[in-house]
Structure 1
Amino acid sequence: MPANRDDGPATGRLRPPGLAMLLAEARGIFEFNTSLLLSPLLMRAPIGDGHPVLTLPGFLASDLSMAPMRRYLKELGYDTHAWRMGRNTGGVARMQSALLDRLKEIHAEAGRKISIVGWSLGGIYARHLALQAPDMVRCVVTLGSPFANDVRATNATRLYEALSGETVEETSELQQAIAGDLPVPVTSIYSKSDGIVNWRTCVLRPSDTAANIEVRFASHVGLGVNAAALWALADRLAQAEGQFMQFDRSGPFAIAYAPAEHAQSA
């Protein structure tokens, strides 16, 4: 692989995004406002079948951060659920029991398999839940989640370790499991202009039940309210249970998606 700015000069390890990209994360508010303006267009997405969707927020975020997404999905016909655990201060190992209990609660109430949408750290939780309880999970969609390659290549790693009490090295065996293939259909939505997470940590190994969708120019903090990302999410959730198709990049937001072969290259 040719050298690039994402790689360390001597170790070959991935680097977190640079300062310029980190500062550019402020454009997330623009992405949110754009989605509001484009809401009539977004409502042309496929209608849902009413199955439950659990949303898991990113590091330091709460259910409020994913409220616009849940409202959008609810209007499309899904039975949306928040995680109800307050602010996400991290801890993949520490949170696994409570997350599994929440999944079981929703499954018992709905009597149907649950799609899980995780933003950033929430996507890591989502992938772990699919490994723990594949019989309860319909599909997983992650947004800017660093689950593969060098997962330390984020601008939040040190703060995560300080607040969660867990280090990446301590949970390396768990991280390896999360980074592998899942027993359910999975889609990773990410952006190469992410200022928090190195995009290479978000790329799935392509398979018949896995898809990578790169959204051009999206920020990390705006990915969950980005119009093109929301359209892609709606497309993924609308697939019939037990079926999986690769993402069709045509449609009203076609210009925002990188070609499939480009999106899946590492």
Structure 2
Amino acid sequence: MRAGSSEADEPGRLRAPGLALLLAEARGIFELNSSLLLSPLLMRAPRGDGHPVLTLPGFLASDLSMVPMRRYLSELGYNAHPWRMGRNIGGLVRLKQALLDRLAEIHADVGCKVSIVGWSLGGVYARHLALQAPEMIRRVVTLGSPFANDVRATNATRLYETLSGETVETTSELREAIAGDLPVPATSVYSKSDGIVNWRTCLLRPTDTAENIEVYFASHIGLGVNPAALWAVADRLAQAEGEFHPFDRSGPFAIAYAPAEKAQSA
């Protein structure tokens, strides 16, 4: 998918983020460094109750990319798990059974529902799992995941189709289901300064158990280590099973979030 300077070639058609945003993705290293420097503040997030959390990496990434997330969640009291499937080269249809098996393994071992945190393509997988096995899932949190609207509007679409052997069109029915309401609580964390994914593809329909959280100035490759995004993930996971309340944008990273009404109607 080529980078462009506008969001649409034609009415209703989204485009991938432009070259300037794509090049600015290099700032992800600063987001990681910020999280390290602000770790005392991050540890003030609500504590976990020990329930399992499965972390799913983005396209071309591996479990290594989710180490900071898992370490943070573990320190807060969660039982964080890797996906253990190597590098994510895509293929929702190809991987759906293996993903379901991994979820079932964790669910059986721990004996309680599993929350899922998915970064980018990992979030698409997470939403699909919620449709397949809602009885095993407590809640889903996605980070910069393109599951809605014109999902071809990314700077990785062509590479994804080449490596996975799957096209967006061949999975259109599945994609439409993933974009709809989930049977479990769901949160989409996204940024309008994402240089890989058009942010409009990350928006879910707000409901009593679903919400969008916009993080100002975050990059796509930095969302999983961005301090404000990490805080939001921890806050969402801390909700009791069967409960959902809107994200409270106060606290040490309040300045990093768009107002709730803006994020929900963007």
TM (normalized to structure 1)?
0.97
SS of residue paired to 1:171: helix
Residue 135 of structure 1 corresponds to 135
Which letter does structure 2 place at the counterpart of 1:24?
A
Shift of 1:11: 4.4
Decide whether the 8 Å contact of 2:6 with 2:18 is kept in 1: no
Which letter does structure 1 place at the counterpart of 2:22?
L
1-structure distance, mates of 2:173, 2:234: 33
Where does 1:3-42 land on structure 2 (aligned, <5 Å)? 5-8=6-9, 10-42=10-42
Note the alpha carbon deviations across 1:150-198, whole angstroms, 9 max, x for none. 0000000000000000000000000001000000000000000000000
Which letter does structure 1 place at the counterpart of 2:198?
N
2-structure distance, mates of 1:234, 1:55: 13
Shift of 1:265: 2.2
2-structure distance, mates of 1:155, 1:117: 22
Where does 1:108-123 land on structure 2 (aligned, <5 Å)? 108-123=108-123
Residue 249 of structure 1 corresponds to 249
2-structure distance, mates of 1:135, 1:74: 24
1-structure distance, mates of 2:94, 2:240: 33
1-structure distance, mates of 2:216, 2:256: 5
Identity among equivalent pairs (%): 81
RMSD value over aligned CA atoms? 0.9
Structure 2's unaligned 5+ residue stretches are none
Which letter does structure 1 place at the counterpart of 2:55?
T
Residue 51 of structure 2 corresponds to 51
2-structure distance, mates of 1:228, 1:251: 10
Which letter does structure 1 place at the counterpart of 2:37?
L
Shift of 1:214: 0.1
Shift of 1:248: 0.4
Structure 1 moving runs of 4+ over 6 Å: none
TM (normalized to structure 2)?
0.97
Where does 1:81-120 land on structure 2 (aligned, <5 Å)? 81-120=81-120
1-structure distance, mates of 2:265, 2:167: 29
1:65 paired to 2:65: yes
Residue 125 of structure 2 corresponds to 125
Tell me the number of residue pairs that the alignment of Structure 1 and Structure 2 aligns: 262
Where does 1:127-206 land on structure 2 (aligned, <5 Å)? 127-206=127-206
